[in-house]
Amino acid sequence: MAETGPKEPTVVPLKRHPCPMCGRPAVARFRPFCSRRCADLDLGHWLNEDYRVPSDEEFDPEEEPPEGGEEA
């Protein structure tokens, strides 16, 4: 039986998604990001979004100041 020689193991190439933060090729260690910096950036975004609760009902009208020059 003669083997076909040193055959490279069939490696299924993982889909290399670009870093969602900067678009660079992602690194396995920091998937799906390219670096820890980008991972931290994304984490910050998540935390921020988690912090502020979207309130559609409780809208503060004082957010928009009335146009100046309004006489009583």
Q: Which is nearer to Zn ion, 24 or 49 (CB)?
A: 24
**Minimum distance, C-beta of residue 27 to Zn ion, in the bound complex (Å):** 9
39 by DSSP, 3-state: which? helix
**Interface residues with Zn ion (CB under 5 A)?**
19, 21-22, 24, 34, 38
Distance CA 25, CA 18 (A): 5
Distance CA 42, CA 36 (A): 10
**Minimum distance, C-beta of residue 30 to Zn ion, in the bound complex (Å):** 8
Q: Which is nearer to Zn ion, 22 or 43 (CB)?
A: 22
What are the structure tokens assigned to 56, written together? 């559609």
